[in-house]
Structure 1
Amino acid sequence: MSIKIENLTHIYMPGTPFEKKALDDVNITINDGEFNVLIGHTGSGKSTLIQHINGLLKPTSGKILVDGTDITDKSVKMSDIRKKIGLVFQYPEYQLFEETIEKDIAYGPTNLGLSEEEIHNRVKRAMNIVGLDYETFKDKSPFDLSGGQKRRVAIAGVVAMEPKILILDEPTAGLDPSGRDEILYQIKKLQKEYGMTIILVSHSMEDVAKVADKIFVMYNAKCILNGSPEEIFTEVDTLESVGLAVPQVTYLVRKLRERGFDISEKVFTVEQAKAEILKVLGSAKND
C-alpha cells in the first residue's frame, strides 16, 4: 500500500500556553513495498507522524492518503484502515499479557473474527517469520523469554493480523547488538515475504544503513531531507547541523580516503567497508 501525506500540520493543545507545533506542513510519499525509515532526535515529530498514519491522531490540517483514500475524511471507517496498518510501539513486550505465546499472538487475529483454522495458520506463519519455532515456543509463557524474544512475540502479534503496512517505533531500543541485528533481520524478512510496506522509526544510523530503501529526516517538526541511503548519507554537513550523523564506518572511510586509499565514498555499512578494504588490499598485493 502506498501513502501520500500532503501539507500535514499538527498542533498540540492549540490556544493554550502549552501550544506546540509537532508537525509543520509535512509532505511525504511512501511507495508500496518500500522499507522506509524515519530518523531524527526526540521531539522532531517522528512519533506524531506515525500516529497520524495509523489514525490515532487527527491532523490540525492536511491530508493522509492511503492507497488514494483520505483517512482524515470523517466518512472513512478507521477500524477498516487499522486492519491494514499495523503499529508496533516502543517496548511492545510490555503489552504482552496472555499465559502462552500462542494465545498472545492469536489475540489480534481472533478479534478480526477469523476461523480457528485461519487463526492457527496465521500464528504459525507469524512465529516462523520472526524466528520462533512454533512447536518449541507455542506453549511457553512470554514472560519466560529474553528481551529480544519477547519483542519478536509482540511483533508477531501484529504480523499475524497481516497488515499491508507495518509501522515500528524504535523496535531495537534497549537491545544488545546481537538482539538489534536479529530484530532488523526479521523485519527485513517480513518485508520480503509478506510484501509489506515498512515504516521504521530509528535513532541509529547503523541500523538505518542496513535496511532502508528510503530515509526521511525529521527536524523541528519538518521533513528536511528524503531519499535513498546513498543520497542522505552524502549530506554530512546537513545531518551534522541538526545533531545527526552518518554511520561511524562512513567517517572511517572518509579518513582512509584522505590518506590516499582508493575506497568508494559510498560506504555506509561494515560489510561494504570490508569489501572495499579487501579490494584495495588485493590491488596492492597484485601491484
Structure 2
Amino acid sequence: MSIKIENLTYIYMEGTPFEKKALDNVNINIKDGEFVALIGHTGSGKSTLIQHINGLLKPKSGRIIVEDTDITKKNVKLSSIRKKVGLVFQYPEYQLFEETIEKDIAFGPINLGLNEEEVNKRIKRAMKIVGLDYETYKSKSPFDLSGGQKRRVAIAGVVAMEPKVLILDEPTAGLDPKARDDIYNKIQDLRKEYNMTIILVSHSMEDVAKFADKILVMHEGKCILKGKPSDVFSNTDTLESVGLAVPEVTYLVKRLKQKGFNISQNIYTVEQAKKELYNVLKSEGIIK
C-alpha cells in the first residue's frame, strides 16, 4: 500500500503560550511494499508523523493519501483506514491486557467481525511468523513472558489484523542485543509473508542501514533528508549538524582509508565491511 504525504503541518496546543509546530510542511512518498526508516532525535516529529498516517491526529493543513484515499477529508471512515494501517507503539507490551496470549492476539480480529475459524487461523499464522509456537504459548499469560516475547505478542496482535501497512515505533527499545536482532528478523519475515509496507521509527543507524530501503530524517518538524541509505549516509555533515551520525562501521572504514587501505567509503553495515575488508586483504596478499 502506497502513502503520499503533501505539505503536512501540525501544531500542538495552537493558540496557547505552549504552541509548538510539530510538523512543518512535510512531503513524503512511500511506495507499496517499501521498508522505510524514520530517524531523528526526540522531538523531531517522528511520532507525530506516524500518528497522522492512520488518522490518530488530524493535520492543521496538508493531505495524507493512503492508497487512493485522502484520509484528511471529511466523512472518511477512519476505522476502515486503521484496519489497513497497523500501528505498534513504543513499549507495546504495556498494551497487553488479556489473561492469555491467544485471547490478546484474538482481540483485533474479533473486532473486525471475523468468524471463529478465521480468527483462529490468523492467531496461529501471526504467532508462527513472530516465532511463538501456538501450542506452547496460547494459554500462557502474556505477563509471564520476557520483554522480547511480550514485544512479539504485541506485534502479533496487530499483525493478526493483517494490515497492509505496519508502523513500528522503536520496536526494540529497551531490549538486549539478541532480542533486538530477533525482533528485526521477525519484522523481515513479516514483510515477506504478508507483503507489507513497513515504516520503522528508530534511533539506531546500524539497524536502519541494515534493513531499510529508504530513510527519512526528521529535524524540528521537517524532513531534511530522504533517500536510499547510501544517499542519506553520504550526507555526514548534515547528519552531524543535527546531532545524528552515520553507522559506527562507516567511521571505522574512513579511518582505515586514511591509513592507506584501498577500501570503499560507501559501507554502512558490518556485513558490507567484512566482505570489503576480506577482498582488500586478499588482493594485497595479506590473507589467502
* Fold-level similarity (TM above 0.5): yes
Moved more, 136-145 or 216-225: 136-145
Q: Which amino acid aligns with 1:261?
A: F
Q: Which amino acid aligns with 2:79?
A: S
Aligned residue number for residue 170 of structure 1: 170
Q: Which amino acid aligns with 1:62?
A: G
The TM-score normalised by the length of structure 2 is 0.98
Aligned with 2:175: secondary structure? coil
- Distance in 1, Cα, partners of 2:131 & 2:210: 19
Aligned residue number for residue 107 of structure 2: 107
Identical-pair percentage: 75
- Distance in 1, Cα, partners of 2:50 & 2:31: 15
Aligned residue number for residue 210 of structure 1: 210
Does residue 37 (structure 1) correspond to residue 17 (structure 2)? The answer is no
Matches within 5 A, 1:12-161: 12-161=12-161
Instruction: Give the deviation of 1:134 after TM superposition.
Output: 1.1
Instruction: Give the deviation of 1:156 after TM superposition.
Output: 0.2
Aligned residue number for residue 230 of structure 2: 230
Q: Which amino acid aligns with 2:92?
A: P
The TM-score normalised by the length of structure 1 is 0.98
Does residue 4 (structure 1) correspond to residue 7 (structure 2)? The answer is no
- Distance in 1, Cα, partners of 2:123 & 2:150: 15
Does residue 243 (structure 1) correspond to residue 250 (structure 2)? The answer is no
Instruction: Give the deviation of 1:68 after TM superposition.
Output: 2.0
Matches within 5 A, 1:194-209: 194-209=194-209
Q: Which amino acid aligns with 1:57?
A: L
Q: Which amino acid aligns with 1:217?
A: V
- Distance in 2, Cα, partners of 1:264 & 1:35: 25
**Structure 1 segments of 4+ aligned residues over 3 angstroms from their partners:** none
- Distance in 2, Cα, partners of 1:70 & 1:236: 35
Aligned with 2:10: secondary structure? strand
Instruction: Give the deviation of 1:138 after TM superposition.
Output: 1.1
Q: Which amino acid aligns with 1:106?
A: A
Instruction: Give the deviation of 1:98 after TM superposition.
Output: 1.1
Aligned with 1:93: secondary structure? helix
Aligned residue number for residue 261 of structure 1: 261
Aligned residues: 287
Q: What do you get for the CA RMSD once the two structures are aligned?
A: 1.0
Alpha-carbon displacement from aligned partner over 1:165-195 (angstroms, at most 9, x marks no partner): 0001010100111111111111111111100
Structure 2 unaligned blocks of 5 or more: none
Q: Which amino acid aligns with 2:222?
A: K
Instruction: Give the deviation of 1:213 after TM superposition.
Output: 0.4
Aligned with 1:64: secondary structure? strand
